[in-house]
């Protein structure tokens, strides 16, 4: 962790912090996109608050991490640049460091866990950096990166536990509040804590009345646990892999603790529903970690009703297959995709009758599976599994009831 002029043992100098963020904004100008922030009418009407989205999913590498990486590399001395840099990441930070090291002509090594998806490895390598695939997880890869740093004399670019990184991430909130000073609530995703720490420094300096919240997913909520003086217990599968961090940064934690920030914890289902809602209502794509702020609003509608809320879509790097699965799962939950199991007599014309009933009811058949030999309760019967597209839950119930007039129907 690198020290800073605005963080002392027991006090945060907000004006000094704001000054560092503004200095970071000047350093990265022209290298990092000043992303648009939009008032999203569809989300505002759906969620009962004025929702302002900061679209950092539009950055060149698809995530806000470019801000911190660009600022950190811009602060290096000539000697440090010649020695090169090293970092560890399985995703957005890796691509951010790779891009900006390439732009500045700095030799860079990126250590990534062996389990990193091939697409993320190839995207990182495309910037001409050296990628080292070692370590079973982030913790092991971090240890390897520190060993290589010591052996090669490189500068370590930490993903979040560094003052220059925090100041760089703070530029997102600086831009957001410059464009929309009417915001009175900020909901910021928390992985290692750099984005939250930078947001809090800026918001508290510009307008102390702004409420700043961090957001973590239930499987990985170390910031919330530590702020509540609870043992840290994390782990499990999550679509929000970008914030699936076991050890938060001590530097961001100190800022969050001293400024009395609250961290909201959302469920895995809330993250999935936020991804789907963003696509359907706002026509925008966000990764699981990138929509955590929106998930927090969806999970706390009464608490934030009527507020003017700033939410970063902090990343858009979601695998197409995962996005497809999330959208399908959400359609099933909403009742707009209907899966039915029908016990039917095994005689001619039954399939045509079922298709007619569904069609007359306004449903659209997506998939059919017909089991005659082994799955049915009798040789005179058959089991039909059918997936149907409906307009809404009420329409799905109407289709189900229509079929139940003639057949034994079970909803799957």
Answer yes or no: is 375 within a domain.
Answer: yes
Answer yes or no: is 7 within a domain.
Answer: no
Which residues have CB under 8 Å from 357's CB, separation 6+? 402, 403, 406
What's the pLDDT at 14? Answer: 94
- For the domain that residue 102 is a member of, what is the CATH number? 3.40.50.1100
Q: Which of 85-94, 177-186, 344-353, 370-379 has the lowest mean pLDDT?
A: 370-379
What's the pLDDT at 346? Answer: 80
Q: Are residues 341 and 372 in the same domain?
A: yes
Answer yes or no: is 173 within a domain.
Answer: yes
Of 272, 295, 327, the residue at which a domain comes to its end is 327
Answer yes or no: is 19 within a domain.
Answer: yes
Tell me how many domains the chain contains: 3
The DSSP secondary structure of 343-412, one letter per residue, reads EEE-STTHHHHHHHHHHHTT-EEEEEEEE-SSSSSSTTEEEEEEEEE-SSHHHHHHHHHHHHTTSEEEE-
Of 267, 292, 327, the residue at which a domain comes to its end is 327
Give the confidence band of 1 by pLDDT, cuts at 50, 70, 90.
very low
Q: Are residues 167 and 296 in the same domain?
A: yes
Give the confidence band of 43 by pLDDT, cuts at 50, 70, 90.
very high
Give the confidence band of 370 by pLDDT, cuts at 50, 70, 90.
confident
Q: Are residues 202 and 73 in the same domain?
A: no
Q: Are residues 280 and 180 in the same domain?
A: yes
The mean per-residue pLDDT over the stretch 300-315 comes to: 98
Q: Are residues 309 and 361 in the same domain?
A: no
Between 22 and 119, residue with greater pLDDT:
22
Of 327, 354, 381, the residue at which a domain comes to its end is 327
Between 367 and 55, residue with greater pLDDT:
55
Q: Are residues 294 and 180 in the same domain?
A: yes
Q: Are residues 138 and 168 in the same domain?
A: no
What's the pLDDT tens digit per position in 247-289? 899 999 999 999 999 999 999 999 999 999 999 999 999 999 9
Task: Give the range of the structural domain holding residue 290, as residue numbers without chain letter.
Answer: 14-58+163-327
Q: Are residues 295 and 362 in the same domain?
A: no
Q: Are residues 105 and 30 in the same domain?
A: no
pLDDT at residue 371 greater than cutoff 90: no
Q: Are residues 286 and 359 in the same domain?
A: no
If you compute the radius of gyration of the chain from its CA atoms, what whole number of angstroms results? Answer: 25
Answer yes or no: is 8 within a domain.
Answer: no
What's the pLDDT tens digit per position in 69-97? 999 999 999 999 999 999 999 789 999 99
Which two three-digit tokens encode residue 386? 């059918």
Answer yes or no: is 5 within a domain.
Answer: no
Rounded CA separation 178/323 (Å): 32
pLDDT at residue 353 greater than cutoff 70: yes
Mean pLDDT of all residues belonging to the chain: 92
Answer yes or no: is 2 within a domain.
Answer: no
> Percentage of the chain with pLDDT > 90?
80
Q: Are residues 117 and 244 in the same domain?
A: no
Q: Are residues 171 and 226 in the same domain?
A: yes
Q: What is the reported pTM?
A: 0.89
């Amino acid at each position: 962790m690198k020290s800073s002029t605005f963080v002392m043992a027991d006090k945060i100098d907000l004006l000094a912090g704001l000054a560092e963020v503004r200095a970071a904004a000047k350093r990265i100008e022209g290298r990092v996109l000043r992303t648009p922030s939009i008032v999203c009418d569809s989300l505002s009407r759906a969620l009962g608050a004025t929702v302002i989205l900061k679209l950092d999913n539009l950055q060149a590498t698809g995530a806000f991490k470019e801000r911190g990486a660009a600022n950190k590399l811009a602060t290096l001395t000539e000697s440090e640049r010649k020695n090169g840099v090293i970092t560890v990441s399985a995703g957005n930070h890796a691509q951010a460091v790779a891009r900006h090291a390439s732009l500045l002509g700095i030799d860079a090594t990126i250590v990534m866990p062996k389990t990193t998806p091939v697409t993320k490895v190839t995207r990182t390598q495309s910037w001409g950096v050296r990628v080292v695939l070692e370590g079973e997880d982030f913790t092991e890869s971090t240890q390897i990166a520190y060993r290589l740093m010591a052996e090669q004399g490189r500068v370590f670019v930490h993903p979040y536990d560094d003052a220059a990184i925090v100041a760089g991430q703070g530029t997102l909130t600086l831009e957001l509040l410059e464009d929309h000073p009417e915001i009175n609530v900020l909901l910021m995703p928390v992985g290692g804590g750099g984005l939250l720490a930078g947001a809090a420094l800026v918001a508290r300096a510009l307008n102390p009345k702004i409420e700043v919240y961090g957001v973590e997913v239930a499987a990985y909520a170390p910031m919330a646990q530590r702020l509540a003086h609870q043992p840290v217990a994390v782990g499990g599968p999550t679509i929000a892999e970008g914030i699936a961090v076991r050890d938060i940064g001590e530097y961001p934690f100190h800022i969050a603790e001293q400024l009395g920030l609250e961290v909201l914890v959302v469920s895995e289902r809330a993250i999935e529903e936020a991804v789907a809602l963003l696509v359907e209502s706002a026509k925008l794509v966000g990764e699981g970690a990138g929509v955590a702020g929106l998930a927090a609003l969806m999970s706390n509608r009464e608490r934030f009703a009527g507020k003017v809320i700033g939410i970063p879509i902090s990343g858009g790097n979601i695998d197409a297959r995962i996005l497809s699965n999330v959208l399908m799962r959400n359609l099933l939950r909403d009742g707009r995709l209907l899966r039915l199991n029908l016990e039917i007599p095994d005689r001619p014309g039954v399939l045509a009758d079922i298709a007619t009933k569904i069609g007359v009811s306004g449903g659209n058949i997506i998939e059919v599976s017909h089991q005659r030999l082994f799955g049915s309760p009798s040789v005179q019967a058959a089991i039909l599994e059918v997936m149907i597209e409906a307009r809404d839950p009420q329409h799905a119930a109407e289709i189900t009831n229509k079929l139940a007039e003639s057949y034994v129907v079970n909803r799957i």
